């Protein structure tokens, strides 16, 4: 009897164990699924995935709170990731079929995501919403259009989170000290003028026999486009199927870019032009010219010298060109609540308070044209010529060359191998002739892939 009791007890224990084991295993599966169900059936949940610093977090949290207050029973789940992990995380979410309802997408990836059926055509939803599309920058809206063939026109697939004009800044104090008139904000330097001023500003200020003040020190990846395009050259033809770097105009611009360092010695020294080392020199007041994006304003507000914005020097085409980027807010094709998701995107793109927060933090220019113009009309605070940012967005800005191509590999090839040219070990002409076929091959591959994914 006693034995049987013990056996019975053991059996009960075993059963309990079995139960526990089943619970354990099943809870694993439940755990995997529970994130999807949202408890209350009439409560809607929208997920928003983004990357950004404290300022963006603050601005968007407030905007989202307001959004939630105005939409009863709607909850927005915020997913914030590190900037350098964002694209990997997004890819994983997409291949896992778990796309957030609203998320950041680089303007260059729009066509790709549309072709693969991941993001939603929001043209109608935006029209239906109580919102005037014209209150945003036209550039910032059009860059999210795509008609199935060409990016930049057709149906609307996103709204700008920001527009990022890459203006040229100069050290005002340095010009004053050198007795050189400050650059005209309405008339761009020609290359000759730019070179002349550059040479005058490159000096040994403390007389120890070593140059300690330079004119510039540009990073090719973000600045060469200005030089090339303002000289009538381009990376890519209009149709996006031919790499056009093997032209005399392009060679002239790249050579000029390289000569600034290697022939005229107006930059710190050649091996540094590929890094952002020159950033620190600019901050120290050792450089006369340096690119300025809206996101730089908060850091540059603490500079020991006064800076201002000017148009980029222009080559033979006679007109300044500047790079302008944009990050977009897009809506998932698979979203359960397309209206709400689109509305959230509108909120994040165009909510006045959120835009004001970001403007106060000096990390971006407002998406709302009126607000931006009012801000730019203040010519007292530094930089005085804020209008230059707006001019780039409205007038002379161009998107990054890979904006309409399937991927950026063809252009990365160009940057990867450019070092000998910026170091003066190879002529521009030689390099361009050699690199064009390689870029063309990668572009052809990309275009083929784009066709396959349609």
| Residue (14 or 263) nearer to another protein, CB | 14
Rounded least distance, CB 357 to another protein, Å = 29
419/102 Cα distance (integer angstroms): 39
214/202 Cα distance (integer angstroms): 4
DSSP state letter for 240 = S
| Residue (183 or 217) nearer to another protein, CB | 217
Which two structure tokens, joined as six digits, stand for 318? Answer: 């006679």
Interaction of residue 437 with another protein, rule CB under 8 A: no
Interaction of residue 6 with another protein, rule CB under 8 A: no
Residue 365: count other Cβ atoms within 10 Å of its Cβ.
Answer: 27
| Residue (1 or 42) nearer to another protein, CB | 1
Interaction of residue 21 with another protein, rule CB under 8 A: yes
Interaction of residue 87 with another protein, rule CB under 8 A: yes
In this chain, which of 63, 102, 118, 201 binds another protein, going by CB under 8 A?
118
Cα 375 to chain centroid distance, Å, stands at 22
**Binding to another protein (CB under 8 A): which residues in 141-200?**
none
| Residue (61 or 407) nearer to another protein, CB | 407
Rounded least distance, CB 452 to another protein, Å = 6
Interaction of residue 416 with another protein, rule CB under 8 A: yes
Rounded least distance, CB 111 to another protein, Å = 11
Task: Give the binding-site size for another protein (rule: CB under 8 A).
Answer: 44
Interaction of residue 444 with another protein, rule CB under 8 A: no
Interaction of residue 334 with another protein, rule CB under 8 A: no
Between CA 145 and CA 284, with CA 294 as vertex, the angle to 5 degrees is 145
Contacts of 364 (CB under 8 A, 6+ apart): 162, 163, 164, 294, 295, 358
Q: Is residue 330 within 8 Å of 113, Cβ to Cβ? A: yes
Interaction of residue 98 with another protein, rule CB under 8 A: no
Contacts of 59 (CB under 8 A, 6+ apart): 353, 354, 355, 357, 358, 361
Residue 380: count other Cβ atoms within 10 Å of its Cβ.
Answer: 5
Question: In this chain, which stretch among 160-168, 318-326, 375-383, 404-412 interacts with another protein, using CB under 8 A?
Answer: 404-412
Interaction of residue 265 with another protein, rule CB under 8 A: no
Interaction of residue 427 with another protein, rule CB under 8 A: no
309/385 Cα distance (integer angstroms): 6
In this chain, which of 6, 12, 25, 239 binds another protein, going by CB under 8 A?
25
- Strand order from edge to edge, sheet including 289-292: 289-292, 167-171, 307-310
C-alpha separations of 32 from 26, 28, 398 in Å: 10, 6, 45
Interaction of residue 26 with another protein, rule CB under 8 A: no
Cα 433 to chain centroid distance, Å, stands at 30
C-alpha separations of 349 from 157, 338, 346, 358 in Å: 13, 16, 5, 11
Cα 398 to chain centroid distance, Å, stands at 13
In this chain, which of 37, 70, 91, 138 binds another protein, going by CB under 8 A?
91
In this chain, which of 6, 7, 239, 301 binds another protein, going by CB under 8 A?
7
Rounded least distance, CB 386 to another protein, Å = 30
Interaction of residue 271 with another protein, rule CB under 8 A: yes
Interaction of residue 247 with another protein, rule CB under 8 A: no
Question: SS3 of 64, please?
Answer: helix
Question: In this chain, which stretch among 84-92, 187-195, 287-295, 373-381 interacts with another protein, using CB under 8 A?
Answer: 84-92
Phi, psi (5° rounding) for residue 424?
80, 15
In this chain, which of 28, 42, 83, 304 binds another protein, going by CB under 8 A?
28
271/233 Cα distance (integer angstroms): 25
Name which of 372, 367, 311, 373 is nearest 144 in CA terms. 367
Residues at the contact surface with another protein, assessed by CB under 8 A: 7, 10-11, 14-15, 17-18, 21-22, 24-25, 28, 84, 87-88, 91, 94-95, 112-113, 116-118, 268, 271-272, 274-275, 277, 280-281, 406-409, 412, 415-417, 419, 446, 449, 452-453
């Amino acid at each position: 009897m006693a034995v049987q009791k013990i056996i019975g007890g053991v059996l009960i224990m075993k059963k309990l164990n079995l139960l526990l084991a089943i619970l354990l295993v099943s809870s694993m599966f439940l755990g995997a699924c529970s994130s999807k169900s949202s408890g209350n059936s009439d409560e809607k949940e929208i997920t928003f995935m983004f990357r950004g610093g404290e300022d963006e977090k603050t601005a968007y949290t407030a905007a989202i709170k307001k959004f939630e207050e105005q939409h009863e029973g709607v909850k927005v789940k915020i997913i914030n990731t590190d900037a350098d992990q964002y694209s990997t995380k997004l890819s994983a979410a997409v291949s896992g079929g778990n796309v957030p309802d609203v998320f950041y997408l680089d303007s260059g990836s729009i066509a790709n995501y549309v072709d693969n059926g991941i993001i939603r055509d929001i043209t109608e939803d935006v029209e239906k919403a109580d919102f005037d599309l014209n209150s945003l920058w036209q550039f910032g809206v059009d860059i999210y259009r795509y008609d199935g063939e060409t990016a930049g026109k057709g149906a609307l697939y996103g709204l700008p989170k920001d527009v990022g004009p890459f203006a040229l800044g100069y050290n005002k104090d340095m010009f004053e000290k050198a007795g050189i008139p400050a650059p005209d904000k309405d008339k761009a330097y020609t290359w000759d003028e730019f070179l002349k001023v550059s040479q005058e500003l490159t000096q040994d200020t403390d007389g120890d026999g070593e140059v300690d003040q330079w004119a510039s020190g540009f990073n090719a990846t973000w600045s060469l486009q200005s030089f090339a395009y303002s000289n009538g050259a381009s990376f890519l033809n209009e149709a996006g199927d031919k790499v056009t770097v093997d032209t005399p105009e392009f060679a002239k611009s790249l050579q000029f870019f390289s000569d600034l360092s290697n022939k005229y010695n107006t930059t710190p020294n050649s091996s540094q032009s590929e890094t952002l080392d020159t950033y620190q020199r600019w901050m120290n007041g050792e450089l006369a010219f340096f690119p300025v994006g809206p996101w730089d304003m908060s850091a540059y507000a603490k500079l020991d010298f006064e800076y201002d914005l000017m148009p980029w020097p222009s080559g033979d085409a006679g007109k300044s060109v500047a790079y302008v980027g944009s990050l977009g807010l897009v809506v998932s094709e698979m979203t359960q609540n397309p209206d709400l998701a689109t509305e959230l995107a509108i909120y994040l793109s165009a909510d006045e308070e959120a835009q004001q927060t970001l403007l106060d933090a000096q990390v971006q220019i407002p998406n709302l044209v009126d607000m931006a113009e009012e801000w730019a009309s203040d010519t007292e605070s530094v930089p005085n010529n804020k209008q230059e940012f707006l001019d780039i967005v409205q007038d002379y800005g161009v998107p990054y060359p890979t904006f309409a191509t399937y991927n950026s590999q063809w252009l990365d090839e160009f940057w990867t191998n450019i070092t000998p040219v910026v170091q003066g070990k190879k002529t521009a002409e030689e390099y361009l002739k050699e690199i064009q076929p390689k870029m063309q091959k990668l572009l052809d591959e990309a275009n083929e892939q784009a066709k396959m994914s349609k």
